[in-house]
Structure 1
Amino acid sequence: MVRGALWLVQEIREGNTFTKEQIRVAFPRIAQADRRIRDLREFGWVIHPSTEDGSLAAEQLRFVKAGVPVWDPVARGAAKRKKLSAKEVREAMERDDFMCTVCGITGAEPYADDIDETAVLLVSRREVTLPGGDRETMPVTECKRCRAGGDGSPVDTARLIEEIGGLGEADRERLLRWVGQGKRDTVALERAWSAYRRLPAQARADVQRALEG
């Protein structure tokens, strides 16, 4: 796992893609080398497969962001934590009303911009910086699409409150409505943008020409 982390940082670099074949070539005598690299996710490394990033081919993965420096035994030991238990997953989903905490979609519900794709819910850990500066890690329910769109950075509560204070009255009322109903409303423009982001390059060009025309 340590060798895989160094390979990602030094050879692949954040934001770039790689394949399982590249892993096999880089570590020819290491059994299940790809699994060792996937284990980095438990230490805050963000690595997206094609199921979480619609722009990737089936055999590709994207190295989004490095996490805990696992080559440092002290840092690795301090950060190591066991996987969520089935009970913790169930309790998190029940608390979140079996909905994605980002977009509000429920499990197996079709996305508004793609009736052929249905939501898959996951429970992952999210780090939150509290107003006093303390950090807390909590399990939250997210759909695969929203999880793929996140950058893994902590949520800063104090900064969020400050940004809310800068909103106009209409936006504050809309946000309050979302908070009250436990999910975000979407508009046609947002759905169109979400669908556009998932198109291949040629299809994006067709859409752009239609807009310009």
Structure 2
Amino acid sequence: MSLPAWNDPDIKAGTMIRGALWLVQQVGEGNTFTKEQVRDAFPGVAQADRRVRDLRAYGWIIDTNREDATLVAEDQRFAKAGIPVWDPAARRAAAPPSALSAKDKQAVMARDDYMCTVCGISGGETYLDDSNQTAVLSITRRETVLPDGLGVTQLVTECKRCRAGSDGTPARADVVLADIKTLDPDDQRRLARWIAQGRRGSTPLDRVWSSYRRLPADARDEIRSTLEA
């Protein structure tokens, strides 16, 4: 399916959709752009840069210097395209939960302990494998299969990176329950304690490893040299 041209005067689409086409056709994934370039591309359109930012709700990754420390203040990076918003069916299926009130969104985040339900990172934390990116949390819809086989849509807290990397596969509570039942009784009881506590138990080795991983690289090298001596 060929894409419509972003600047086609006959295209019947709003600025967000035209902005998505502009990013794909003019900027390209991995490249940077500025607000000034957005304004030049859409002259006379009020808050065109905000309409482009709205694409983030559809899984588009558009980084600023808050998420990517290599960027200067005026630059943004089109890191990855998300839902093809120029496709009406895809756009409707992925419509963000905008009807939620701020209070409702806060309640979902509080329920999820203000952490991404996929990777466990908290908002504002840097990723261990990419210190230039900090986690940005939002509320998304997740298709879920319950233990009785019923399919439902549930609200979850996810970071921008996990949301963009999702392949759309439903969460399978029925499969998780089946896997739990295959555990031996001791492991089932241990898991039940973790569930009751809301966190996984850890051994002294787990805690030392976690503390070691949080050290700066030079400090980790010093510890490694001491242990190898």
Fold shared per TM-score above 0.5: yes
> 2-side partners of 1:13 and 1:172: how far apart?
49
| 1:136 aligns to 2:160 (yes or no) | no
- The C-alpha deviation readout for 1:66-94, integer Å capped at 9, x for no partner, is 33322123433454352531231233244
Residue 167 of structure 2 is aligned to residue 150 of structure 1: no
Alignment pair present for 1:6 and 2:21:
yes
Q: Does 1:68 align with 2:83?
A: yes
Q: Tell me by how many angstroms 1:5 deviates.
A: 0.7
Q: How many residues align?
A: 189
Which structure carries more relative contact order (alpha carbon 8 Å, separation 6+)? 1
User: Counterpart of 1:138 in structure 2: which amino acid?
Assistant: L
Alpha-carbon distance, 1:35 to partner: 0.8
Change in 2 beyond 3 A, CA 1:175/1:137: same
Distance in 1 (CA, whole Å) between partners of 2:71 and 2:209 is 27
Assess, with a 3 A threshold, how the Cα gap between structure 1 residues 79 and 122 changes in structure 2: closer, same or farther.
closer
Q: Which has the larger radius of gyration?
A: 2
Matched-pair contact (CA < 8 Å) for 1:49–1:56:
no
Runs (5+) with no aligned partner, structure 2? 1-15, 129-133
Quick one: structure 1 residues 187 and 212, their matched pair in 2 at CA, closer, same or farther if it must change by over 3 Å? closer
Q: Normalized against structure 2, the TM-score is what?
A: 0.55
RMSD (Å), alpha carbons:
4.7
Distance 1:207 1:70 in 2: 46
Change (3 A) 1:121 1:46: closer
Q: Which runs of 5+ in 1 are unaligned?
A: 114-118, 197-203
**Which residue of structure 1 aligns with residue 49 of structure 2?**
34
TM-score, reference length from structure 1? 0.58
Structure 2 residue identity aligned to 1:63: F
Identity across the alignment (%): 33
- CA 1:63–1:24 in structure 2 vs 1: closer, same or farther (change >3 Å)? closer
What's the CA shift for 1:50?
3.1
Cα offset, 1:63, TM superposition: 3.4
Check the 8 A contact 1:50/1:56 in 2, yes or no.
yes
Amino acid at match of 2:41: F
**1:99, CA displacement in angstroms?**
3.7
Q: Which amino acid in 1 is paired with 2:153?
A: E
2: CA distance between counterparts of 1:55 and 1:88?
32
